[in-house]
Every structure is written in C-alpha cells, then in structure tokens.
Structure 1
Amino acid sequence: MLLALGALLVTAALVLAVLAVGRPTTPRGVDRSIELLDAVTTTPRKARAGQDERPFAERVLAPLQHRALVVGRRLTGAGSAERLRRRLDLAGNPRDWNADRVVSVKVLGAAALLAVGAALALTLGTGFVPTVLLVVGGPVLGFFLPDLYLYQAAYERTERLQRELPDAIDLLTISVESGLSFDAACQQVSRHTEGPLSAEFSRMLREMQIGQSRTAALRALAERTNVPDVRTFVTAMVQADAFGIPTAQVLRVQANEMRVRRRQRAEEKAQQVPVKITFPLVFFILPCLFIAVLGPAAITLMDNF
C-alpha cells in the first residue's frame, strides 16, 4: 500500500509539473501595469522618431511651399497658371519646374528680400527714402525675379534653337536620303546631337509613341518654341505629309533655305556693329585717347605759361 501510494504521489507531482511548465504564464497585476506604462511611453517616442526621420524638405519646405502657393495664387489670379506654363515651355522647363513651383518661389523670394531689405535698413540706419526703397523694392524684385529668369532662359534657348536648326535639318536630309524614314531620321538627330532642339525632337518622338499623330506632334513642337524658322520647317513638313510630297525633297529645300537665312542673319549682325560701337567709342575710347595724346601737350603748355 505504501509503495502504491508513493507511486501515485510521484505521478501526480510529475503531472502537475508538466502542466505548470506547459501552461502559458500570465502576467501578474504589477507586471501588466508596467507593460502598459511602457507601451504608453514608447509609442509617442516611436511616432516622434518616425517624424524626425523624415527629410528636412518634407517636414519644413513642403508645408512652406504649399502656404506660399496659396498666397501666390491669390496674388497672381487664376489665369496666370496658363501664362506661366507657356513661359516654362519657351524656357525649356528649366530644373523641371512647374507653374505651382514658380508661383511659390515668387512669394518666397518676395518674403526673403523683404526681410533682407528691412534688416539692411535697420542695420545701416538709412533715411526715409532709402528705407522705403529697400522695404518696397526688395519684395517687388523678389516677386518678379523668377519671371526675369524665365525670360532670359527663353531668350537663350531661342538663340540656340535658331543656331542649331540648319545643322539638324542637314542631318535629317542626309538620313532620309540614305533610306531612313522621317521618324528614324528624327531619332538620329535626338541621339547624335545635344541641346534644346535635340530634346524637342526626342519629346516629339515620345508623343508619337504614345499614340499622337505626326502632324499633332509637329504642331506641338512649333507651339513650344517662338522661333519663326522652326514654325516654317514644321509647316513645310505638315504640308508635305498632307499632300504626299517626297520628304527628302522638302528637307533639301528647307536645308538650303535655312542656310541662306543663317547667312543673312550673320550679315545683318555684321552691319549693326558700326552703329553699336559708336556709343562706347564716343564716350569711353576717344576721351581716353585724347587724354593720352593731348595730356602731355597740355601739361607742357601749363608749365610754359
């Protein structure tokens, strides 16, 4: 009996030990409270850490740009977006800008130059009129500075398009006469040349690849530029495509015409040189020459008298 009772107790102890080990432990009241406090205190830290890990441009510059955009839209009006898109197209979309970014940059530039003008006025202690000029002229300059930049970029791009067009048409003519199609010739121009004209041909080819017709793509190319030679070339190619005129023949005529126009522009600029040099010659070069030539004679005359 004693042996049987001992074996039963040992078995019961083993069963209880197995159950105690296999059963998941539940946290006590204190442990549960500590876990809740840790969860409450670490969650805001993680959230703050996630916010701090965002880049500076996303945390600060993006909201600032959005607020500046709202103010700029109120100042410029609803129709300014289309005019800005037109200027950006003429300038070649520098730095991948869009109309909203230009508007926000105008407002931020006005605010920055207002702060700079006020700081200069307070630091230098200027009078009433210089202070007004600094405080009023700074924001005006900052607001219109992006427009001046776009105007200058559009002017330089127009000049480059006008210079590069004859060479590009020559390459198109050679490619078409060697057996390539017009689209393949445009691809050769975009691949083997650099500059705004190459970028425009590449964009035209991409528009044709997404389903736009050749006529529409060519007309869009002409709309993105304000160069008369480009418009003449596009008009000739559209008419050749519409009436079935051989492309090589049209390109040959356009190449000869563009070379003649380039020579005429060079001769025109050469004829303008004597007129343009008159002002610096009269006001800067001749006075220095008179001082160098007549100065010693004047000094000698003064010594003699």
Structure 2
Amino acid sequence: MTMLLILGLLLVLLAIYLVSMASRTAQHESASVARALAALEAMGGAPRELTAELDRPFKERVLDPLQRRALAIGRTFTGADSSERIRHKLDLAGSPVGWTVDRVVALKVVGLVVGPVIAAAVAFLVLDLSLTTRIVVVGAGAVLGFFAVNFYLYQKGYDRQKQLQKDLPDAIDLLTISVESGLAFDAAVQQVSRNTEGPLSDEFSRALREMQIGSGRSDALRGMADRTNLPEFRGFIGSLVQADAFGIPIAQVLRVQSSEMRVKRRQRAEEKAQQVPVKMTIPLIFCILPCLFIAVLGPAAINIMDNFG
C-alpha cells in the first residue's frame, strides 16, 4: 500500500513537471514568433532605400556586376578592332538571341578563369601526372577556356553557312517564279520569307524589314551579303545590286541565277560522290579488310598449324 502511494506521488510530480515544461516551451515559441513578427514589421516599415537591395533579383545583384567586371578586364586584353571582328562573327552565326559583343568579351574572361580551375582539378585530383604535365594541362585549360566562345561562334557560323548553301537554290527558284508571275521584287521576297524556313528565310525577312523602314534596296541586299561568307550567296546578291543599279529586269537576272545555282548544286553533288571512294579507303584498310582476312584465311591458317604440329 505504501509503495502504491509513493508511486502515485511520483507520477503526480512527473505530470506537474511535464506540464510546466510544456508551458515554458509554448511561452518560448510565442516569444520567438513575436520577435520574428517584429522583425518583419521593422523590415516592412524600413525605408525603400534599405530594402531595395534585397528586393533586386540575383541576376542584377551578382551576375550583372560580375559581367561588367569581366568586360572591363576583357577590353584590356583585346585589340581595338576586336568589337568589329566579334560583331562579324555574331552576324555569321545568325546573331543568337541574347548574344552581344560585350557578352562575348565577358565570357572569354570567365572562360580564362574557369578553364584552368577545371583543368587543375582534373590534373591534380583525377589524373596521376607529373608536375610538368599538370602545368601544361592547366595552361591548355586556360587557352581552351579563353577561346571556347570563339569555337562556339565558329561552329554556329559554319552550320549556318551550310544551311544557307543548301536552301539557296530552292529559294531562288521560288523567287524567280514569284517575279515571273507578276509580283514585285519586295512581294516576291516576302513570299520566300513566308514559305521557307531556316537562316535564309530570316535573312530575307530582315532585308524586307530594312526596306520597309526606309533603307534602300541595294543597302539592304549588301547587308545580307555582309552577314555571310558564302561565295554563291555573295555572287547572287551582287547580281541583284547591279541589276537594280543599271535598270536590268530582275526576272531575267533571277532566271540566269536560278539556272547557275542548279548547275552548282549538281557539281557539288558530283564532287561529294567523287570523294566517297577516297574517304572509304582508311576504314576499308584498317577495319574491313582485317576482318575479311581473319574470316577467310583464319581456318586455313589453323589447319596448316595443326598439320605441321
């Protein structure tokens, strides 16, 4: 009986202790919530100048200042004519959305910093190389990081020129048919831009917009030629500019150019066909012939070895 009373007293004391701890925890949490609400009210009542920096997005607070610093450093390394050269590369690449001269210069500086860091991490942590080889790898990483943007723009420009070369004969045929059917040159260009896709359609659309806002036809066409390094396209634009300058009928010039483009396309196809045997020589010698020799002469060689053995 005495043990039961003692046990009941201990349970009562434990219950009182738990209730007191729960009340203290609730008071502490309420005090924390009150302090958080007070801080939020203070932030809400603070002047706009103090909270404007926190309200700005991450891009404006961090990325844009970093790009400006990288641009300032990059301008000290590049030459005076670098802007024109980079702008020409961007034109050849089709002026990708969001890409400007300043962005290219900033990315070159970022690549100069990030490239050796990645190369050093690979050379020192992944590969087991000597110290001299590691230094060479870090230097190569710096060079690749600096010229990575140039490689990207070159590849974009190369792919774009190939697509222009592929689409040009069909576009000239459509332009010739449209002019010969009675449409004006501007209307024919609009038809080509509407019914075709790819970089050539973009170029015709841009030239048409330039002509609509007041630019001369010759200036708009020369702008198209300056944004590409394709000889066939430059020759076509030169013929149109001369026809416009000397008053030659556009339909006649387009008909001649269309026939010439078809001939050049056939010649390129024949050239590619003539290159196939030469390109097949290396895989034929190193890949196909060894397998053929093994399959044909292998059993005979095994029989000869067995007989002599």
TM range (shorter): 0.7 to 0.9
Q: After superposition, give the CA deviation of every residue in 1:63-84 in whole Å (9 maximum; x if it has no partner).
A: 1111111111111222211111
In the comparison of the two structures, how many residue pairs are matched?
A: 268
Paired amino acid for 2:219: A
Structure 2 CA distance, aligned partners of 1:58 and 1:230? 42
Larger-gyration structure (1/2): 1
Corresponding residue to 1:240 among 235, 239, 243 = 243
Paired amino acid for 1:284: C
Structure 1 CA distance, aligned partners of 2:236 and 2:169? 10
Which residue pairs with 1:162 in the alignment? Answer: 165
Corresponding residue to 1:67 among 63, 69, 75 = 69
| Counterpart check, 1:214 vs 2:232 | no
Paired amino acid for 2:269: A
TM-score, normalised with respect to structure 1: 0.82
Which residue pairs with 2:99 in the alignment? Answer: 97
Distance 1:274 1:41, change over 3 A: closer
Measured after TM superposition, the shift of residue 47 of structure 1 is 4.3
Distance 1:59 1:300, change over 3 A: farther
Which residue pairs with 2:79 in the alignment? Answer: 77
| Counterpart check, 1:225 vs 2:228 | yes
Distance 1:243 1:41, change over 3 A: closer
Structure 2 CA distance, aligned partners of 1:42 and 1:182? 62
Q: After superposition, give the CA deviation of every residue in 1:109-154 in whole Å (9 maximum; x if it has no partner).
A: 2211221122223323532133113211111111111111111111
Paired amino acid for 2:114: A
Higher alpha-carbon deviation: 42-51 or 63-72: 42-51
Structure 1 CA distance, aligned partners of 2:106 and 2:144? 15
Paired amino acid for 1:138: G
Structure 2 CA distance, aligned partners of 1:245 and 1:207? 23
Secondary structure of 1:96's aligned partner: coil
TM-score, normalised with respect to structure 2: 0.81
Pairing of 1:136-175 with structure 2 (within 5 A): 136-175=139-178
Structure 2 CA distance, aligned partners of 1:45 and 1:58? 20
RMSD over aligned Cα atoms: 2.1
Higher alpha-carbon deviation: 124-133 or 62-71: 124-133
Corresponding residue to 1:189 among 187, 192, 195 = 192
Unmatched tracts of structure 1, length 5 or more: 1-37
Measured after TM superposition, the shift of residue 242 of structure 1 is 1.6
Corresponding residue to 1:130 among 122, 129, 133 = 133
Measured after TM superposition, the shift of residue 44 of structure 1 is 5.3
